[in-house]
Amino acid sequence: MIMLIVLGVFAVTAVGGIRLRQRNLIYQNREKALQEAIAEEEARAEEIKALEAYTKTKKYVEDVAKDKLGLVYEDEIIFKSKD
């Protein structure tokens, strides 16, 4: 009778250990995916900071004025193609 109880306890702990290992593996995979997402977001944040710094420059203002508004300096010569 004692042997059956010991075997029962052993079986319960073995099954519990297997379930814990499976959960641990799932959590490790989730952690890895989250770490990758964090790295991507940090890289994106750096790009946004660089863009923010660029938008505060005179070069950015000139580029926007040329591209979107079609403005040029008075002494600048523009060549247009015949399309």
CA 12 remoteness from chain centre: 41
The letter for the amino acid at 2 is I
CA 11 to CA 67: how far, in whole Å? 73
Nearby residues of 54 by Cβ (< 8 Å), 6 or more positions away: 60
Could you give the CA distance from residue 52 to residue 4 in angstroms, rounded to a whole number? 71
pLDDT along the chain (83 residues), means of 10: 94 96 98 98 97 94 87 80 78
Q: Token match 């079986």: residue?
A: 11
pLDDT of residue 72: 82
